[in-house]
Amino acid sequence: MRRSLNVLIQKAAVPKIRFHDLRHTHATLLLAKGVNVKVISERLGHSNIKITLDTYSHVLPTMQEDAVNKIEEIL
């Protein structure tokens, strides 16, 4: 699969990307959109959500700000 991806990347003349990069982007986008961490963890095949949270915790600061905004809307 990696070879196929590399061929597509060369044909598209885009910067090189690895499957791991796609996986990381997938998880980050889902977290940023508020998808439940348990669901993301299962999609990634992590044995528990701690692994997911430890790996993708860089997304959480913006999620904290979103939570504040949502509670302000409610109040």
Question: What pLDDT, in 10s, does the model give residues 11-32?
Answer: 998 888 888 888 999 998 998 8
In this structure, the dihedral spanned by the alpha carbons of residues 13, 16, 18 and 21, taken in order and rounded to 10 degrees, is: -100
| Segments of the chain scoring below 50 in pLDDT | none
Whole-prediction pTM: 0.69
